[in-house]
Amino acid sequence: MNYPEPITKLIDSYMLLPGIGRKTATRMAFYTLSMDKDDVKEFSDNLMSAKTDLRSCAICGNITTEETCSICRDTNRDQSTILVVEQPKDILSIDDMNAYNGLYHVLGGVLSPVDGIGPENLNIKLLLNRLRENKAVKELIIATNATPDGEATAQYLAKLVKPAGIKVTRLARGLAVGSDIEYADEMTLKSAVLGRREI
Amino acid sequence: MNYPEPITKLIDSYMLLPGIGRKTATRMAFYTLSMDKDDVKEFSDNLMSAKTDLRSCAICGNITTEETCSICRDTNRDQSTILVVEQPKDILSIDDMNAYNGLYHVLGGVLSPVDGIGPENLNIKLLLNRLRENKAVKELIIATNATPDGEATAQYLAKLVKPAGIKVTRLARGLAVGSDIEYADEMTLKSAVLGRREI
């Protein structure tokens, strides 16, 4: 026996999501059948809306429903610092901690020779234009992930931007707060020792 | 900073799914933005289709796009046995192991006094009608989950059906106690069917 087509196709759609295999997708599809009809309708509409109503901010690449995003439009923010992230979702993580009030720039990924992603595939040209046109920017904080590709991308950006006299910094690496030295990996420990601070 | 409304609403929709918290829903929503537009459109359509094009089989309660399901229409199947499951998805698990070729009946749940689910909330009346009208049925295999509620439901059904002279069996205790049929491996399911016992 095969499932009827509508449920098979819904299972296939759920399987497109990251980390969702056939078993979980099947469970989700059957759960969908038991959901309130209005909720499913809204779910269906929200999928299309997210795909059609959202665009990239013309300045920083963040997601927005307008021409520019709410952060770029906010003149109360510190205009002298730009923090560079890989993805729009990283902005919320950083902004939520209330320790940074400057601007952002979204690369849309990292350099990855293995995946064939070069500088031309990232939002780098827009960043250089921003720095050229806006002389108020004094510091560029590179907050790519602490992965080899994130590291390489940070080095690449630093080389591009430093000659313009802009200070380029990178998020500190070291022990995660609350973590044990015993369980830290070698590279993390090394960074923690090299980046030690006087107390 | 808050996310734009289209993404917030999509995150909320993903959070309706079983086992999906805010972090995973956020990841899924951002992943959706990077998906092919046609895939998202199809996903959106499939959600509505599963909810509107599927109905319960008028005979057994299985999901179907027609008046009756493909199993009930299949005259090559053994018409003397009905296997009772909690949910439509259980039918595929059992049918896929190729150890059973009879008919099915979907209860739509189990008796659960705690959740206020009594016999009137389950597909039991239709089952009794089937047994009354179709004298060919000689055995009723009760394949509710091996949970206390599944067990109680099996006992309840046995008491109802036995007086009519129909043999009532229960899947063998090959299933791990407290586990769901959906997650059982094929061999366990197979031995459970073959080792079924009269109750």
pLDDT in tens, B31-90: 999 899 999 999 999 999 999 999 999 999 999 999 999 999 999 999 999 999 999 989
Residue of B nearest to A94 (CA): B1
Average pLDDT of B93-116? 90
Q: Which of B51, B66, B121, B185 to mutate to test the interface with A (most CBs of A within 10 A)?
A: B51
Work out the average pLDDT over B109-138.
Answer: 90
Interface probe for A, chosen from B35, B46, B94 (most Cβ of A below 10 Å), is B46
Q: Residue B13's pLDDT band (boundaries 50, 70, 90)?
A: very high
Residues from chain A that touch B65, judged by Cβ atoms under 8 A, are 4-6
Contacts of range A15-21, beta carbons closer than 8 Å, 24 or more positions apart? A16/B35, A16/B39, A16/B43, A17/B28, A17/B31, A17/B32, A18/B27, A18/B28, A18/B31, A19/B24, A19/B27
Minimal C-alpha gap between B65 and chain A (Å) = 7
Question: What pairs with residue A56 in β-bridges?
Answer: A63
Say yes or no for a CB contact (<8 Å) between B43 and A13.
yes
Q: B50 contacts in A (CB within 8 Å)? A: 6-7, 9-10, 29, 32-33, 40
Q: How high is the mean pLDDT of chain B?
A: 89
What angle in degrees, to the nearest 10, is found between the helix axes of B22-34 and B5-14?
Answer: 120
Question: Is the pLDDT at B197 greater than 80, yes or no?
Answer: no
Question: CA-to-CA distance for A155 and A150, rounded, in angstroms?
Answer: 9
Q: Which residue has the higher pLDDT, A31 or B178?
A: A31
pLDDT at B173: 64
A10 contacts in B (CB within 8 Å)?
46-47, 49-50
Counted residue by residue, chain B has a size of: 199
Check B13 against A64: CB less than 8 A apart: no
Identify the CA nearest to B91 among candidates B66, B62, B124, B111. B62
pLDDT of residue B66: 92
> How many angstroms away from the CA of A131 is the closest CA of chain B?
23
Distance CA B54, CA B67 (A): 10
Nearest-Cα distance to chain B for A44, in Å, is 4
Query: B178 versus A133: which is more confidently predicted?
Result: A133
Regions of chain A where pLDDT drops below 50:
none
Q: Measure B62 CA to nearest chain A CA, in Å.
A: 10
Give dist(CA A191, CA B192) in Å, integer: 56
Secondary structure tally for chain B: helices H, strands E:
8, 7
Closest-CA residue in chain A for B103? A1
Helical packing angle, A5-15 and A22-34, nearest 10°? 120
Residue B163, min C-alpha distance to chain A (Å): 32
pLDDT confidence bin for B1, thresholds 50/70/90: low
The larger pLDDT score, comparing residue A127 to residue B176, is at A127
- ipTM of the shown complex: 0.80
A-chain CB neighbours of B30 within 8 Å are 87-89
Cβ pair B4:A63 closer than 8 A:
yes
- A-to-B residue pairs, Cβ atoms closer than 8 angstroms: 152
**Which residues 6+ apart lie within 8 Å of B28 measured at CB?**
A17, A18, B11, B14, B20
> Which pLDDT score is estimated for B49?
95
Q: Which structural domains are found in chain A, ordered by start?
A: 5-53 (1.10.8.420), 57-198 (3.40.1360.10)
pLDDT at B164 over 70: yes
pTM check: above 0.80: no
Yes or no, beta carbons of A9 and B48 under 8 Å apart: no
**Partner residue opposite A32 with nearest CB, options B41, B50, B95:** B50
Sign of the CA dihedral with A9 first, then A28, B12, and B114 last: positive
Would you say residue B179 has pLDDT above 90?
Answer: no
pLDDT digit string, tens, across residues B144-159: 987 889 989 999 999 9
Instruction: Answer whether A33 sits within 8 Å of B54, measured CB to CB.
Output: yes
Please report residues of B whose CB lies closer than 8 A to that of A92: 1, 3
Q: Give pLDDT, residue A195.
A: 78
Residue A34 exposed, middle or buried by CB count within 10 Å (0-12, 13-18, 19+)? exposed
Predicted confidence at residue A1, as pLDDT, reads 65
pLDDT at B177 over 70: no
Q: Is A172 exposed, middle or buried (0-12, 13-18, 19+ CB in 10 A)?
A: exposed
User: Which residues of chain B neighbour A12 with C-beta distances below 8 Å?
Assistant: 46
How many Å lie between the alpha carbon of A119 and the closest alpha carbon of chain B? Answer: 19
Dist CA B85 CA B94 (whole Å): 9
Pick from B16, B28, B44: CB nearest A17: B28
Asked whether the beta carbons of residue B33 and residue A63 sit closer than 8 angstroms, the reply is: yes
Q: Is the pLDDT of residue B175 over 80?
A: no
**Cα–Cα distance measured from residue A98 to residue B160, given in angstroms and rounded to the nearest whole number:** 64
In the predicted model, what is the mean pLDDT of residues B14-36?
94
Report how far apart, in Å, the C-alpha atoms of B186 and of each of A8, A123, B161, B178, B190 are: 21, 50, 29, 17, 6
Residue B183: CB partners within 8 Å, gap ≥ 6?
A: A23
pLDDT band at B182 (very low <50, low <70, confident <90, very high): confident
